[in-house]
Structure 1
Amino acid sequence: MTSSQRRHGLVPIYGKIALFFGISALCGVLVAGFFLPWASTGATMAQGGNQILEENPAELEDASIGVPSRILASDGTEIATFYAENRQPVEINEIAEDLQHAVVAIEDERFYEHNGTDLRGIARAAASNLTSDTTQGASTITHQYVSQLILNADQLAGEDDLAMSGSTTVADRLNEARIAVDLEEEMSKDEILAGYLNIVLLGGRNYGVEAASQYLWGIPASELNLAQSALLAGLIQNPNGLNPEENPEGALERRDAVLEAMVRNDYITEAERDEASAQDLDLDIHQRSSGCQSAAFGPYVCDYVVRSIQGDEAFGDSVEEREALLNRGGLEITTTLDATLQQEADAEVARTVPADDPSGAGASLVTVQPGTGNIMAMAQNTTYSTADEAGATTLNFNVDQNMGGGNGFQAGSTLKPFVAAAWIDAGNSMTDTVDASRDEYEQGATFDAQCQPGGEVAIPDEDGWNISNAIEDMNKEMTVDYGLYWSINTSTVATLAELDVCDVTELTTDLGIHRADDGEPLNPANPSFVLGAEEVSPLTQASAFAAFAADGTYCRPRILSDVTDAAGNNYEVPAEDCTEAVDPDTVAQLNETLGLIASERVAEGEASFPMAGKTGTNNNESSTWFIGYTSGLATASWVGSYTELSSLAGVPINGTAHEDFWGSTLAAPQWLNYMNAVGEDHPTEEFTTPEESDFDDVDDLDRYDLDHDGSE
C-alpha cells in the first residue's frame, strides 16, 4: 500500500472485506471512546499524541509545520532561501473562499458539522467501499490535519523515515482520532482549515496552498479563481500523481470531480461549474529556489552563514538538528552583510578576473567593519557550483578551511606592518635606521624568542636563509618606515633581528592572525613568517588590518546579527567581541606609512579620502594582496592561483599578460576600484595622528623617494 493510499483510505479491491472489518472494529472502539474517553486502551494508544497536544495546546497548528528559512542582508534584502518543504503560511482570510469550499466539498463535506471524527462519514465510506469499484476515505480534515502535524513534529525531531501519512496502524489512527476530537475543542473550524491548508503536500516540495499557488500561477492564494481552486483541492488526494505539469489530463479530471462536489454541496451553481470546467490549466510556473547555489547574490556569504549555523550549539545539539532547523524552522537569519557593498564587490571581482577566464586565476574581496568585526561583503570571481566546469567551485577563498575554505594563501609582505608595530611597541621609532644590507642568515643563526626553549630560535635550513628584494640596490641602511613603504625584505628581517620574535607573534595572535588550515597561531620557531611564508585567509587579514582603522581595537569577525524562528523565538548569536590589541599611538605612527602606501603608491596621489594599506606578493607570484582600509571599512583584496598555485607572471589574465605579477598589479587596483565606488558611503575620517609626528612638514615626505621605480 502506498503512502498516498494510506493517507486517503485508498486500498485495492481485494482488501475491501478486510477494510470492512477494520472499520467496523474502529467504529466500535470510537463509540466506546465517546462514552469512556479515558479508557486504558485508548489512553495508552494516544499517549504520544496527548503529549504533543499538552505541550502545544492552542498553538498546535504552528508548532511543527516545516517553514522555509531565509538568509537576509542587514537591510532585509533576501540572499537565499532554504527548505525541505516549500511553504508560505497564510491566514484563512488570505485564502480564496472558493478554495476553502472546494477542499471541504471534496475532502470532508461535513467538516462544519462534526466534532473531529465523523461516524456517519466512516459508515458511509465503509458501505461505499464494499459496493463500488472506487474507494472512499473516512478521515476528516481535522483528523488529516492531526496526522500531518504529528508527521511534521517527528520530522523536526529528525525521524524522517516515516510513512507520509504519519500513521500506519489502527492504534495510530485511534490516536489521531482522539487528538482530533480534543483539537476541535481548542481551535475554531477556520483555524483548523487554515492550518490544514498550510500543511498539505500539493506536489513536489510545495506544501500549503500559498506555496502551490505561487508555484503554479505566480499569484497568492487569495487571488485564485474557481477553476484554480478546484484544481488545488483535487491535488490533495494524490499530489504527485496528479501533478498538472506531468499529468494535465488527470489533474483536469480530478478538478472537474471537485467542481461536481461543490455543486452537490451548494457552494457553486451548475453554470459556474460549467464555466470553470471549460477553462484550461493556464500554468505559469514560478520555481522557488533553495540553497546557496540559488542565492540571489553573495553565494559564498550564504555558504559561510550556513556553516556558522551548523557549527553553533545555539541552534541544536547536533549538526543534524541544526540542519533540520535551517530547512524546516522558518528561521529569519539577519546577517551583518551590506547588500550594496556585496553587489559592488561581486561586480568588481568579476571585472578583474571573469569566472571562466582561461588563466584560471581567482579574485576575492572581503570587507569587515572596524570597531565591530561585522562582515560587510564577501565576494569572489568564481561560480558557486559543484559542476565540473571552468570557474566553478564551492571553495570559499575568503575563509579558513573549517568554514569552507582551503589552506589559505601565503600572505607575502602583508605581514610586514606587524613587525613594524612590534618595533614601535618596543619603544622605537619608524625613523630609526636598520642595516638592511644583510641578505643571508646562515644555518644556526639565532633570533631572540623568549617564548621558545632556550629563549631563541635558530635557522634550521642547511643552506641558511637567503633573502632577496624585489627592488634592486636596496641592500643598505634605511629607516624602518622607508623599508616598509618600499616593502624591502632585508629591512623587515633586520628589524626582526633587533626584536624578540615572540613579541611579533604575540601581536599577530592578539590580532586574530592564524593559519587557515588548522587555526594555529603563527609559529615563532619559523622566522620566515614575517615575509609571509604562512598561509592565511583574506578574512583573517581584513579583520587584523581593521584594528589599524580602529585605533588598535581588534574585533573577531561576525556574520549573524539576529536569528528568529517561525514561532518568534530568538536565538543567541555571537555578540561583538572587541579588545584593544595594539596601543593607539603605535597605530597612529604605523598609519602614517601605510597611509602613504595607499594614497601615493596605490591611488597615485589622487586618493578621494583618507586610506591606508599594504601590498603583498609571495615568492613565486601566485598569491597577491592589497589589504586596505578607511576609518569605516577594511578590505582584503586577493588575486592569485587557487588550483595549481603556479606563478601568474606572464599569464594572460582578462586578456592582459603581466611580466611581473605583484600585489600592485591587480589586487591593489581591484581594491581601489571597489573603494572608489563604495568608500564615501561609509566613514572616511582622518586617521589619528601621533602625539609627536615624524612628518612636521610635507617636504619630509621626500625621504621616501616617492618617484622611485618600485615594484609591488
Structure 2
Amino acid sequence: MWRRLAVAVLAGGLVLAACGAPAAAGVAVVASAVPDRPAAAGELPDPGAVPAATTLTDRDGTPIAYLDEQYRLPVPYSRISTAMVAAVVDVEDRRFFSESGVDPIGTARALVTDAAGGDVQGGSTITQQYVKNWLIDVVDADDPAAQQADRADSIGRKIREAVLAQRLAHSASKQDVLAGYLNTLEFSGNLYGVEAASRAYFGTDAAHLDVPRAALLAGMVNNPTRYDPYRHPAAATDRRDTVIVAMRAAGSITPAQAAAATAAPLGVLPGGPVTPGGNCYGATPGAGFVCEYVVDQLQKAGITEHQLDTGGYTVRTTLDPKVTAAAQAAVDRNVPPAQDGVANTLALIRPGHDDHQILAMVSNRTPGTDGGAGQTTTDLVADPSNVFGAGSSFKIFTTAVALEAGTVGFDSTLPDPTSTCVTPPVTNQYTRCYPVANDNPRYPDPISLPDALATSPNTAFVELEARTGVPKVIDMARRLGLRDTLAAPLAGGTPITDPADPRSQDPRWNQPQSQYFQNLLSFTLGVSPVSTLEMANVAATIQSDGTWCRPDAVLSVTDRTGADVPVARTACDQAVAPGIAHTMAAGLGRDTITGTSAAAARNAHWTRPTIGKTGTTNTSESVAFVGATGGIDGIAGSSMVFADGAHPSQICPGTPVHLGQDCGKGAFGGTVAAPPWFDAVGTALGTAPDVPLPPPDPAYTPAR
C-alpha cells in the first residue's frame, strides 16, 4: 500500500526533478507528511456505521415518521440505478473501476503543482472523496474544528485521504465503495445520500433514477449549494448537461439518449426538496402523538435518542391507519385544529390479555411549535395534559373498589341525597366535612348501582368513596390504568423537590397525586390532571377481563441489517378479578342506552353493546367519555375535550365547540366528548359484528 502511494509521490518527484532543486525539496516535504501509523478507529469508512434515519411505520409497514440527525437512507449497490452509477463515475472519476483507490496520474499532477508552491490541486478519486465525506459527516460530525481540518486545502490532508483510500480499496469491493460513497454524499439542507435525495427531489427511489435525474444529482456532488435546482435552476441545468456530455463521451449513453436527457425538464418535485423532517413533528397526519409515545417507550427500553437518530432502525408501530384516519377526522370535525383554547384528544386501544395495543392517539392539535396553527410541544394524549380532570369517569374506580370489598353488589342501592356534607375517613380536630351536591334534584334516592353509573349522581359516589376509603380508590385507579397520571402532581408535570424552588414547599407541586389525595373525597369526582391514553386503558383493562397491560405502541424493531432488536416491555398483571371486570362492564352498559351519553348515541345511530362513562368538571372546563365495545377483539377508548389555552374557561357545545359563557351550564361529557368517540369507533369497526357485554358475576351481585 505504502509502495503504491510512494509511486504516486515518486511520479511527482520525477516530473519535478526537471524543474530544479527547490521543487525536489518540495517533494521531500510531501513525502515526510505521510503518516506512519494505522488508521484510527472509525477513520476508515464502514457502510454499517454511517448515520441513518430510523423509520417508523404503521402496523401495515407504511412509513409514518423518520428520526434522524442526518436524513439518510442507505441502500446497497443493487438498489442504485445503472444511470446513477454511470453519471457519478463519468463526471467524478472515470478511472474508478480500474484504479486502486488513488489515481497515480491525477495524484502526480496535483502533487507536482502543490509541491512547486502552486494552488492545491484536486486529483481526488471517488474513493478519496468517500474518505473525505466520511471524516466530515461521520467521524467529525460533532466537531466543527476537526471538520475544518478535514476540508483544509493542505498537502497533509490530501495525503491522509490517499492513505485511507488505499486501505479502503484493498478491504472493500468497488461496488461497496461506490455505494458507500453515494450513501454518504451531502446534498442541500439535511439531505444525505442518494436514496434520500432521490425521494426528496423526485419522489422516487435510487433504483429508478433515469439519466436526466441521475445526472442532476451527480452534478450536485460538485457543489450542492451552487447547483441547487430550486434556488439556482439555470446553474443546475447547465451542470446536469455537463454530466450528460461526460456520460456520452464515456460511452455510457448514446447520442440520442444524451439529446433526450438534455431536453428533459429538471423534473424536481414542486416546493422541494420534500423531506419528512427528523422528528415526530414531521410525522404523517394522525401519527405525531404515537410517534412521540414510541420514542419515549424505546428510550425507556434502553435505546437512546442518539441511537434512534443515527441507527437506521425500522420500528413497526401498532398504529392502525384506518382507525387513526377515522379518529383524526372525528376530533377535527368536533373541534377544528386551530380552535382557540379548546383541545380534543382521543386514544383508542385494542384490549387483550397479553398486550394492549394502541390503535390511534390523535388530537385536533398536532405536535409542533406553531401554536397559532393548533400545534403543541407537549404530548397531549399520553401525558396527564388535561389538568382539569376527567370528571365523573373516576367513579369507575370507586365502584370497582366497593365491589371488590363487598361494600356493594351489582343489585345494591346507594343513598343519593340531593346534597350532603361527607366527613373524610381520617379526621382530626381541624377536619371539616366535604360538601357535595348533585347536578339536579331529580335523581332517585336511593338509586341502584347500575343507574348511578349511568346517570352519575355525585352524592352517592362520594358517600360510597368515604365508606370504602380514599386510599383504596386511588390504588384501584392505579391498578386499572392510571400509573403515570397518579405519579404526576396536582399542578401537572413532575413533582418538584428542589429546595431552591419555592414550589417544592407546596403539596400541589411537590407530591404525586397518589399521595396528595389520600384523604380528599374530591378524588372520585375527577378533579386532577389525567392522561387520555391512560383513561382509554382503564376501559381496555375492564374489557380484558381485568388484565392490565401498559399501552404498547411497538410491534417490532429491526436494525439496518434486518435483525430483530429486543424491546423490554412491562409485564401485564391481573388488576382485578375477571368477575369484577365483568360486573363493572355490565354496570357500565347502560350509559349509552339510558345514561348520560344516550342522546349522543341516538344521534350517532349507535346500537352496539358498549361500556361507557361520561365525566364533566364542575365548571365545564373539561369533559370526557370513556368506553369500549366489541369484546376482547374490539376497541376501548377515551375522548376528552378540555380548555388548553392561556385563559381557560367554560367549554360550550356547538359547531364548533368553543370557549364562552353563552351556553348556560356548558358542555357535558355526553354532549361534547362522546360524539367523536362514537364517530371514530363506529367508522373503525364498520360492519364488524356486535359482541354482547358479559353479565354481572353472581359472586358480586349482592353486597357481601
Question: Considering the TM-score relative to the shorter chain, is it more than 0.5?
Answer: yes
Does residue 341 in structure 1 map to residue 323 in structure 2? yes
With over 3 angstroms needed to count, the CA separation of the structure-2 counterparts of 1:623 and 1:681, relative to structure 1, is same
Partner amino acid, structure 1, of 2:677:
W
Of 398, 413, 438, which aligns to 2:381? 398
With over 3 angstroms needed to count, the CA separation of the structure-2 counterparts of 1:23 and 1:351, relative to structure 1, is farther
Does residue 663 in structure 1 map to residue 669 in structure 2? yes
Q: Which has the higher contact order (CA 8 A, sep 6+)?
A: 2
SS at the partner of 1:101?
A: helix
What is the CA distance between 1:693 and its match in structure 2? 8.5
Partner amino acid, structure 2, of 1:294:
G
Of 622, 635, 638, which aligns to 1:636? 638
With over 3 angstroms needed to count, the CA separation of the structure-2 counterparts of 1:118 and 1:309, relative to structure 1, is farther
Partner amino acid, structure 2, of 1:429:
G
Of 460, 481, 497, which aligns to 1:491? 460
Of 692, 697, 704, which aligns to 1:686? 692
The residue that corresponds to 1:369 in the other structure is 350
Partner amino acid, structure 2, of 1:485:
A
Partner amino acid, structure 2, of 1:377:
A
1:52-63 map, 5 Å: 61-63=46-48
Partner amino acid, structure 2, of 1:437:
P
What is the CA distance between 1:636 and its match in structure 2? 0.5
The residue that corresponds to 1:379 in the other structure is 362
Q: Contact 1:599/1:611 (CA < 8 Å) preserved in 2?
A: no
Of 398, 412, 419, which aligns to 1:439? 419
What is the CA distance between 1:582 and its match in structure 2? 1.1
Query: What is the CA–CA distance in structure 2 between the aligned matches of 1:525 and 1:395, rounded to whole Å?
Result: 31
Query: What is the CA–CA distance in structure 1 between the aligned matches of 2:26 and 2:289, rounded to whole Å?
Result: 55
1:318-337 map, 5 Å: 322=305, 324-337=306-319
Q: CA RMSD in A?
A: 3.6
SS at the partner of 1:365?
A: strand
Point out where structure 1 has 5 or more consecutive residues left out of the alignment: 1-18, 34-40, 54-59, 317-321, 448-455, 697-712
What is the CA distance between 1:315 and its match in structure 2? 1.3
146-155 or 636-645, which deviates more: 146-155
With over 3 angstroms needed to count, the CA separation of the structure-2 counterparts of 1:134 and 1:221, relative to structure 1, is farther
The residue that corresponds to 2:4 in the other structure is none
With over 3 angstroms needed to count, the CA separation of the structure-2 counterparts of 1:650 and 1:118, relative to structure 1, is closer
Partner amino acid, structure 2, of 1:638:
M
What is the CA distance between 1:182 and its match in structure 2? 2.3
SS at the partner of 2:437?
A: coil
Identity among equivalent positions (%) equals 29
Query: What is the CA–CA distance in structure 2 between the aligned matches of 1:97 and 1:305, rounded to whole Å?
Result: 41
1:290-305 map, 5 Å: 290=277, 291-305=279-293
SS at the partner of 2:555?
A: strand
1:585-600 map, 5 Å: 585-600=579-594
In the TM superposition, what whole-angstrom CA distance separates every residue of 1:490-512 from its partner, at most 9, and x where no partner exists? 11122123223322222222223
With over 3 angstroms needed to count, the CA separation of the structure-2 counterparts of 1:76 and 1:265, relative to structure 1, is closer
What is the CA distance between 1:383 and its match in structure 2? 4.2
In the TM superposition, what whole-angstrom CA distance separates every residue of 1:414-436 from its partner, at most 9, and x where no partner exists? 11121111111112313333333
Q: Contact 2:327/2:681 (CA < 8 Å) preserved in 1?
A: no
Does residue 182 in structure 1 map to residue 167 in structure 2? yes
In the TM superposition, what whole-angstrom CA distance separates every residue of 1:192-215 from its partner, at most 9, and x where no partner exists? 112212221233333223333343
The residue that corresponds to 2:7 in the other structure is none
Q: Contact 1:367/1:378 (CA < 8 Å) preserved in 2?
A: yes
Query: What is the CA–CA distance in structure 2 between the aligned matches of 1:133 and 1:106, rounded to whole Å?
Result: 25
What is the CA distance between 1:326 and its match in structure 2? 3.0
Partner amino acid, structure 2, of 1:647:
Q
Query: What is the CA–CA distance in structure 1 between the aligned matches of 2:453 and 2:170, rounded to whole Å?
Result: 77
Query: What is the CA–CA distance in structure 2 between the aligned matches of 1:622 and 1:20, rounded to whole Å?
Result: 83
Q: Contact 1:331/1:563 (CA < 8 Å) preserved in 2?
A: yes
Partner amino acid, structure 2, of 1:435:
P
The residue that corresponds to 2:217 in the other structure is 232
SS at the partner of 1:547?
A: helix
What is the CA distance between 1:183 and its match in structure 2? 1.9
The residue that corresponds to 1:648 in the other structure is 651
Of 413, 422, 426, which aligns to 2:392? 413
Query: What is the CA–CA distance in structure 2 between the aligned matches of 1:495 and 1:650, rounded to whole Å?
Result: 31
The residue that corresponds to 2:502 in the other structure is none
SS at the partner of 1:466?
A: strand
Query: What is the CA–CA distance in structure 2 between the aligned matches of 1:48 and 1:23, rounded to whole Å?
Result: 27
* TM-score (norm. length: structure 2): 0.81
Partner amino acid, structure 1, of 2:96:
F
Q: Contact 1:71/1:302 (CA < 8 Å) preserved in 2?
A: no
The residue that corresponds to 1:119 in the other structure is 104
Q: Number of paired residues?
A: 638
Partner amino acid, structure 1, of 2:591:
I
Partner amino acid, structure 2, of 1:417:
I
1:608-627 map, 5 Å: 608-627=607-626
What is the CA distance between 1:680 and its match in structure 2? 5.4
In the TM superposition, what whole-angstrom CA distance separates every residue of 1:294-321 from its partner, at most 9, and x where no partner exists? 32222432452364167436213xxxxx
SS at the partner of 1:666?
A: helix
Point out where structure 2 has 5 or more consecutive residues left out of the alignment: 1-21, 495-511
Partner amino acid, structure 1, of 2:556:
D
With over 3 angstroms needed to count, the CA separation of the structure-2 counterparts of 1:652 and 1:205, relative to structure 1, is closer
* TM-score (norm. length: structure 1): 0.80
With over 3 angstroms needed to count, the CA separation of the structure-2 counterparts of 1:288 and 1:576, relative to structure 1, is same
290-299 or 589-598, which deviates more: 290-299
Partner amino acid, structure 1, of 2:612:
G
